[in-house]
């Protein structure tokens, strides 16, 4: 029997909006997006910390199906990106499919009815034939387990849950964490702070780039007037993202060139030979998610900004004690400590075929077939799920390819050719074996501790080239699936 599937998408960020657009494009209109936040954008909705800027150029960090000619900056601010997401959702009529403030707490597959029953925080249930988790990677803040943190008498704020009521001007600010976020927050808060103490557990390589550069008005006007030129620019940048994949996935002179540039940035910007060794990472550049900043090294050169590399011993009511016995008096503590990146759709409780829980299926860490299908989870797909190319290839491109791949299955559902589709254990294992083998020569595997690594030390990234991503998501191999 042919019929249109009832589709539920969780999340209205890059992945969810892309999925929705591809559904619309293919005439699948019976879908709703459940979004726990009050607006679209995902990470760009939740992250509002001072200095938030995307370190990927805006002309590539945008949806291929919704090009924006007039970005204010080459590297857009978080606020401009959030506004862009809102405009895209509104102009493509996706917003009317979204239920905001609706957190999914569980989803259960029925073997008898062949459908998902999805329960939201307020107790409501939604039934779907197809359940799409577009929940992102960087959405559950990681709160560090530091002794005494709760005893601090001033505000403690995680960057992904920024509180505008926290006063930072004129304050003695402690910032924990040196990833892309920590570096941006230090640069943004230093000018008006009384003091900034940056607690650096592991120094990062920081690539210099003019992050505040404006996109010239004539470029905006040209791209607006010549959409074909805009398309060519986007294609060119997409091709460039393929080069980045190559740099990270296999050793070459191109990788060495970028790494040499990172070392040069440190040498040229941290002239003081007494300080440079403390900021020198003990691992290869690009091993962690590369930090890019045009302002960080200048910020920490200021007399009221200090970098503390001694370990944090404990937090006290008035500040932070470090392992060298020094007490750092503070008014505010900012946690730029990142995310629980491997949770994916959890803490949702997901129960698949035969009552199998996702936690059970993922006992040894998150795994999916080609980033999107999970054994024992019929008619469930992830967009930007495990092994997504967060460290190399354009996420918008990857999300769109995945969405089109899923839609391939939905067409067959609509035509009555299938009721359920579930990837086999064997195909998933085989894919994950290939992934493990391919991570060998990647730079992420060269001896650093990063959020790319799962608890068991596996690299949760896309270790292949962009062409492999395109190929794998452009074909459906029926032998890899149980189809009813």
Contact residues: ligand NAP, CB under 6 A: 53-56, 138, 144, 146, 176-182, 199, 201-202, 289, 312, 336-339, 449, 451
Nearest-approach distance from CB 426 to ligand NAP, in angstroms: 32
CB-closest chain residue to ligand NAP: 179
Nearest-approach distance from CB 373 to ligand NAP, in angstroms: 24
Nearest-approach distance from CB 417 to ligand NAP, in angstroms: 39
Exposure class string for 283-321: b at 16+ Cβ within 10 A, else e: bbbbbbbbbbbbbbbebbeeeebebbbeebbebbebbbb
Nearer to ligand NAP, 56 or 107 (CB): 56
Nearer to ligand NAP, 77 or 351 (CB): 77
Nearest-approach distance from CB 467 to ligand NAP, in angstroms: 23
The beta strands (E) that lie in 185-245 are given as 195-199, 206-207
Nearer to ligand NAP, 137 or 361 (CB): 137
Element housing 253 (H / E): helix 253-269
The beta strands (E) that lie in 200-280 are given as 206-207
Nearest-approach distance from CB 31 to ligand NAP, in angstroms: 28
Nearer to ligand NAP, 187 or 337 (CB): 337
Nearer to ligand NAP, 202 or 465 (CB): 202
Nearest-approach distance from CB 468 to ligand NAP, in angstroms: 22
Say which residues have a Cβ less than 8 Å from residue 165's Cβ, sequence separation at least 6: none
Say which residues have a Cβ less than 8 Å from residue 342's Cβ, sequence separation at least 6: 365, 366, 386, 454, 455, 460
Nearest-approach distance from CB 367 to ligand NAP, in angstroms: 21
Q: Which residues pair with 328 in a beta bridge?
A: 320
Q: Do 436 and 458 contact (CB within 8 A), yes or no?
A: yes
Nearest-approach distance from CB 56 to ligand NAP, in angstroms: 6
Nearer to ligand NAP, 56 or 472 (CB): 56
Nearer to ligand NAP, 97 or 289 (CB): 289
Give the dihedral sign, CA 81/86/91/92: positive
Q: Do 68 and 44 contact (CB within 8 A), yes or no?
A: no
- Residue 241, phi then psi, degrees to nearest 5: -65, -25
Q: Do 248 and 463 contact (CB within 8 A), yes or no?
A: no
Assign 265 to helix, strand or coil: helix
Nearer to ligand NAP, 41 or 338 (CB): 338
According to DSSP, residue 56 is labeled: S
Burial of residue 34 (number of CB atoms within 10 Å: 0-12, 13-18, 19+): buried
Nearest-approach distance from CB 338 to ligand NAP, in angstroms: 3
Nearer to ligand NAP, 37 or 177 (CB): 177
Element housing 382 (H / E): strand 380-382
Nearer to ligand NAP, 202 or 454 (CB): 202
Nearest-approach distance from CB 462 to ligand NAP, in angstroms: 14
**CA 100 and chain centroid, separation:** 20
Q: Do 446 and 284 contact (CB within 8 A), yes or no?
A: yes
| Axis crossing angle, helix 227-249 with helix 253-269, rounded to the nearest 10 | 90
């Amino acid at each position: 029997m042919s019929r249109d599937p009832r589709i539920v998408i969780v999340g209205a960020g890059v992945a969810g909006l892309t999925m929705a657009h591809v559904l619309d494009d293919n005439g699948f209109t019976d879908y709703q997006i459940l979004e726990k936040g009050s607006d679209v954008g995902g990470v760009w909705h939740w992250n509002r910390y001072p200095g938030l800027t995307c370190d990927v150029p805006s002309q590539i960090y945008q949806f291929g199906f919704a090009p924006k000619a007039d970005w204010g900056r080459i590297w857009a601010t978080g606020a401009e990106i959030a506004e862009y997401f809102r405009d895209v959702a509104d102009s493509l009529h996706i917003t009317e499919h979204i239920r905001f403030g609706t957190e999914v707490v569980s989803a259960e597959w029925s073997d008898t009815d062949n459908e998902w029953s999805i329960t939201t925080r307020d107790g409501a249930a939604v039934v779907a034939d197809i359940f799409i988790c577009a929940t992102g990677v960087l959405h559950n803040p990681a709160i560090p387990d530091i002794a005494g943190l709760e005893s601090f008498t001033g505000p403690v704020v995680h960057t992904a849950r920024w509180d505008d009521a926290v006063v930072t001007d004129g304050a003695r600010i402690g910032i924990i964490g040196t990833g892309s976020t920590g570096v941006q927050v230090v640069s943004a808060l230093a000018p008006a702070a009384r003091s900034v103490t940056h607690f650096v557990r592991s120094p990062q390589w920081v690539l210099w780039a003019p992050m505040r550069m404006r996109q010239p008005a004539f470029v905006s006007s040209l791209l607006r007037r010549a959409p074909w030129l805009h398309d060519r620019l986007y294609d060119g940048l997409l091709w460039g993202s393929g080069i980045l994949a190559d740099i990270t996935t296999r050793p070459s002179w191109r990788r060495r060139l970028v790494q040499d540039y990172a070392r040069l940035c440190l040498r040229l910007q941290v002239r003081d030979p007494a300080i440079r060794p403390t900021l020198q990472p003990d691992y290869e550049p690009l091993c962690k998610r590369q930090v890019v900043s045009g302002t960080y090294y200048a910020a920490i050169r200021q007399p009221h900004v200090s970098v503390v590399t001694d370990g944090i011993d404990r937090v006290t009511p008035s500040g932070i004690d470090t392992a060298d016995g020094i007490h750092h008096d503070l008014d505010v503590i900012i946690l730029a400590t990142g995310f629980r990146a491997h949770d994916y759709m959890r803490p949702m409780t997901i129960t698949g075929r035969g009552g199998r829980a996702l936690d059970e299926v993922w006992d040894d860490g998150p795994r999916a077939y080609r980033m999107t299908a999970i054994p024992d989870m019929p008619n469930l797909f992830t967009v930007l799920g495990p092994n997504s190319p967060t460290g190399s290839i354009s996420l918008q491109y990857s999300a769109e390819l995945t969405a089109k791949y899923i839609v391939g299955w939905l067409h067959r559902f609509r035509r009555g050719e299938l009721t359920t589709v579930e990837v086999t254990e064997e195909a998933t294992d085989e894919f994950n074996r290939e992934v493990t083998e391919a991570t060998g020569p990647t730079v992420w595997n060269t001896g650093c501790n990063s959020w790319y690594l799962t608890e068991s030390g596996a690299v949760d990234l896309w270790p292949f080239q962009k062409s492999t991503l395109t190929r794998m998501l452009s074909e459906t191999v029926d032998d890899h699936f149980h189809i009813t």
